[in-house]
Amino acid sequence: MFEQLGLIGCGLMGGSFALAMKKAGLVKRVVGYSKSPSTTDRARQLGVIDVEAPSALLAVAGADVVLVAVPVAATEATLKAIKHLVTPQMLIMDVGSTKSDVVQAAQRSLRDQVGSFVPAHPITGREVSGVEHAEADLYSGRQVILTPTERTLTAQLQDAEKIWTALGCRVTSMSPESHDAAFAAVSHLPHLLAFAMMNSITGQAHGDDFLSLAGPGFRDFTRIAASDPKVWRDILLSNRDELIAQSKQFQQALHNIEQAMEKGNAQALEDMLTLASETRAHWRMGAKRK
Amino acid sequence: MFEQLGLIGCGLMGGSFALAMKKAGLVKRVVGYSKSPSTTDRARQLGVIDVEAPSALLAVAGADVVLVAVPVAATEATLKAIKHLVTPQMLIMDVGSTKSDVVQAAQRSLRDQVGSFVPAHPITGREVSGVEHAEADLYSGRQVILTPTERTLTAQLQDAEKIWTALGCRVTSMSPESHDAAFAAVSHLPHLLAFAMMNSITGQAHGDDFLSLAGPGFRDFTRIAASDPKVWRDILLSNRDELIAQSKQFQQALHNIEQAMEKGNAQALEDMLTLASETRAHWRMGAKRK
C-alpha cells in the first residue's frame, strides 16, 4: 500500500494507472501534473487525480511511488526536473514503448538515484488518447515488461512486480535491448505500416471513394493508425534501427508473396498464405511460450 | 419472397446468406451443395440448408434464387456446371471479393443466360471460415456492391437490390473495374500486408518469442491474416495488377516515413503521422461520401 502517487502525464496511460491504483486500493492519494494545465485540471475534475501540482517536481514531493507517463522523448527532461526530490525509498516507473533509450535517459538524468527507477512497458493502449478515455481496467489482463538494469534496487523491482500483479497484469522481465527488438517486430512495425497504409490511400485521387467502401477488415487493420502522432513520432525515432531492420524483413516477406502472384504460382502463394493463416489462427494474445 | 434458394458453397459466406434469408422470411427452402460432402452434411445438420444436393446442378434444380459462394477462381467451373438449368426468371448471385474476373467468367460460362447473373460483393467476412461459423447477422448493417453489366436483366438487378436491402445492407452499384481498383486498396492490400507481416515474424529466429509478447494492436492488425488461404490465393491472383499497383503506392508511402525516421526529421515525421491519425480517426465504416 502506498501513501501518495505522483503522476507526471495525465493522459490515457497515466490517468488509467491512477484509476487502477485507486480501484485496487493501492494508493491513498494521487497528485498529478501535466504539461498542459487544462489537462491537469480536467484530470482533477474527472477524479483521476486528487490534487493538481503546478510542476513535475511538486508532483513528486511527498510521493512514495511516481509514474512518468509522457512521450518517450520527454522522459529525460522529466526525470531531470524531478531528480532533486527522488529518494532511495521512492519507486519511479515509466510506461514507455521503447526501453533502451529510456534506460539511458534515466541513467543520465537520475545518476546516483537511478536505482529507484524501474523501466516498465505495459502492453496495452487504445487508438484514442487523453484523460477523458482513461479507464481503471486498461491494464487488467495485460502483460507488463520490466527492463531492470544492474543498478536497479531489488526493493523497487519487487514493489513494481507487486503493483502490476495487483492490477491484474502478468509481469515479465527482460533486457532493454531484447525488449526493443521484440517490440519493433510486433508493435512498432504494425503501427508504421498502418500509418503508411492511411497515407497511401489519402495520397490517391480516388482515396475518399476508396475509404467509403472499406469494411471491417480495413477497420481493424488500421485501428492503430489513429494513435497519438506525438507519442508515435518518439517511438519510431527512438527505436528506428531495430524498426528499419524489421521493416526490411517485412518487405522481403512481402516481395516473396508478390513474386508468387506475378509468376501466377498458385501453389507457392497458397503455401505462404497457409503458413501466415495457421500461425495467426493459433496465436493467442498473452499465451505463455511453449 | 422466393420459393427455393440453391446454395452452392456452404461455407461462412454461403451458410450465413442461407440463415439470413430464412431469418428474414425471404425463402421457404434451401437446397445446398458443397464440394466436400461432409460440409454439405454438416450444413444440413446445423439447419443452414434443408436439403442436400449431390451436385451443383441439382442444387439449382427448382431454385428461383441461386447463390454461388465459392473461391473466386472456382466461379467459372461452377457456373458452367449449372448452365443447363439456368432460366431467364432465375436470379443468380455470387459473393466474390473480385468482380472483373467474375463478370468475365460469367459471360464465358453462362453465355446467353448471363442476364440472370448479378455480381455481388458484400463487404463483410470473418477471419474464421466454415459453415460452423455461419451466422444470420453476418450481412446486417454492411455495404453490398453490385457490379451489373449492360447485359444484366433489370428484373434480376431489382430483385438483388431488394434481397440485400431486406437483409439490412446498404446497396451500391459500380463497374467491375472501379470495384476492383477500390478493393485492391482497402481490402486486398491490407490482407496482403497482414499475411506478409506474419511470415516476416515466423521467418525469424526469435519469432516465437516476439509473438508471445504481442498485444492488442498486433491482434487487430493481423486478424485478417487468419483468413482462408484458398479464398485469398484466388483473390490475390485474380486482382493482381491492381493489387501490385496499390502495393507500390503503399511502399512509397512507407519509404517516405522511413526517410523522415532515418534523417531524424521529427517534424516531417510528426506531420505524416498526424495526417494518417486524423484521417483514420475521422473515418467511419459505411459512412456515405460527403
| Final residue belonging to a domain, choices B174, B197, B215 | B174
Judge whether A216 and B285 are in contact, CB under 8 Å. Answer: yes
Q: Which three cell numbers stand for residue B143?
A: 455495404
**Same domain assignment for residues B114 and B190:** no
B290 in a structural domain = no
Say whether A247 and B254 touch across the interface (CB within 8 A).
yes
Q: For residues A29 and B263, what is the distance between their CA atoms, to the nearest angstrom? A: 44
The DSSP code sequence of A28-96 is EEEEEE-SSHHHHHHHHHTTS-SEE-SSHHHHHTT-SEEEE-S-GGGHHHHHHHHGGG--TT-EEEE--
Give A245: exposed, middle or buried? Use CB within 10 Å, 0-12, 13-18, 19+.
Answer: middle
Mean pLDDT of chain A: 96
**Same domain assignment for residues B190 and B170:** no
**Same domain assignment for residues B203 and B277:** yes
Q: List, in sequence order, every residue forming a beta bridge with A5; answer none if it has no partner.
A: A30, A65
Q: How many CB pairs under 8 A join A and B?
A: 316
| Final residue belonging to a domain, choices B121, B144, B174 | B174
B273 in a structural domain = yes
A288 in a structural domain = no
Which pLDDT tens digit goes with each residue over B29-71? Answer: 999 999 999 999 999 999 999 999 999 999 999 999 999 999 9
CATH number of the domain where residue B137 is located? 3.40.50.720
Residue among B98, B212, B269 with most chain A CBs within 10 A, to mutate? B212
Which residues on chain A are in Cβ contact (under 8 Å) with B283? 211, 214, 222
Q: For residues A188 and A185, what is the distance between their CA atoms, to the nearest angstrom? A: 6
Cell 486498396 appears where? B185
Domain that holds residue B210: 178-282
**Same domain assignment for residues A190 and A69:** no
A290 in a structural domain = no
Which pLDDT tens digit goes with each residue over A182-210? Answer: 999 999 999 999 999 999 999 999 999 99
* Residue B102's pLDDT band (cuts 50, 70, 90): very high
* Residue A93's pLDDT band (cuts 50, 70, 90): very high
**Same domain assignment for residues B156 and B187:** no
* Residue A128's pLDDT band (cuts 50, 70, 90): confident
DSSP B224: G
Domain count, chain A: 2
DSSP H or E stretch at residue A173: strand A170-173
Interface ipTM > 0.90? no
State residue A125's pLDDT score: 80
**Same domain assignment for residues B40 and B151:** yes
B166 in a structural domain = yes
Mean pLDDT in residue range B105-133: 94
**Same domain assignment for residues B34 and B76:** yes
Which residues on chain A are in Cβ contact (under 8 Å) with B279? 198-199, 201-202, 211, 225
**Same domain assignment for residues A24 and A144:** yes
Say whether A220 and B217 touch across the interface (CB within 8 A).
no
**Same domain assignment for residues B49 and B142:** yes
CATH number of the domain where residue A267 is located? 1.10.3660.10
Mean pLDDT of chain B: 96
State residue A104's pLDDT score: 97
Judge whether A125 and A163 are in contact, CB under 8 Å. Answer: no
A75 in a structural domain = yes
| Final residue belonging to a domain, choices A130, A147, A174 | A174
Does B223 have pLDDT greater than 90? yes
Q: Name which of A125, A215, A262 is nearest B285 (Cβ-Cβ).
A: A215
**Same domain assignment for residues B169 and B183:** no
Say whether B211 and A250 touch across the interface (CB within 8 A).
no
**Same domain assignment for residues A168 and A183:** no
**Same domain assignment for residues A194 and A170:** no
A209 in a structural domain = yes
* Residue A127's pLDDT band (cuts 50, 70, 90): confident
A111 in a structural domain = yes
**Residue of chain B with shortest Cα separation from A213:** B286
Give A130: exposed, middle or buried? Use CB within 10 Å, 0-12, 13-18, 19+.
Answer: middle
Does B7 have pLDDT greater than 80? yes
State residue B289's pLDDT score: 60
Q: What percent of chain A has pLDDT over 90?
A: 96
